[in-house]
């Protein structure tokens, strides 16, 4: 199999307009809030922030004086997570409150 670069093609990165990214983010969190409500959650707040995911989670937990952070595990596996970093790993090690990671 020939890769695009070895065939003489160069991948081009196209910038996505900020308003498009914001719209997609809002649609995702709106749907997540609906799913949470359908499953019995009654006090759900959403925020869309820009920055390092782990740092944003830690800042939000500190601001909200959270007792617990619950997050999903998804990623690159043990080796990839070790080399590239992992949001859940970083949050669990730097957080001052309990962290639960679920599959």
Q: Where are the domains of the chain?
A: 16-48, 51-103
Over residues 11-21, the pLDDT tens digits come to: 888 888 989 98
pLDDT band per the 50, 70, 90 thresholds, residue 7 = low
Q: Looking at residue 23, what is its pLDDT?
A: 93
Q: Looking at residue 39, what is its pLDDT?
A: 96
pLDDT band per the 50, 70, 90 thresholds, residue 79 = low
Domain 51-103 in CATH 3.40.50.620: yes
CA-wise closest residue to 67 among 36, 99, 92, 41 = 99
Over residues 16-36, the pLDDT tens digits come to: 898 998 999 999 999 999 999
Q: Looking at residue 50, what is its pLDDT?
A: 87
Over residues 43-77, the pLDDT tens digits come to: 888 888 889 999 999 999 999 999 999 988 776 55
CA-wise closest residue to 68 among 92, 38, 36 = 92
Cα dihedral 69, 72, 75, 78 sign: positive
Instruction: Enter the DSSP assignment of 51.
Output: S
């Amino acid at each position: 199999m020939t890769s695009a670069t070895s065939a003489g093609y160069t991948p081009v990165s196209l910038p996505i307009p900020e308003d498009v990214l914001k719209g997609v983010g809002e649609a995702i969190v709106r749907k997540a809030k609906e799913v949470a409500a359908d499953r019995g959650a009654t006090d759900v707040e959403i925020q869309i922030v820009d920055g390092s995911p782990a740092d944003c989670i830690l800042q939000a937990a500190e601001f909200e004086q959270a007792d617990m952070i619950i997050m999903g595990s998804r990623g690159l596996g043990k080796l990839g997570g070790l080399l590239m970093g992992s949001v859940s790993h970083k949050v669990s090690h730097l957080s001052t409150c309990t962290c639960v990671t679920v599959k």
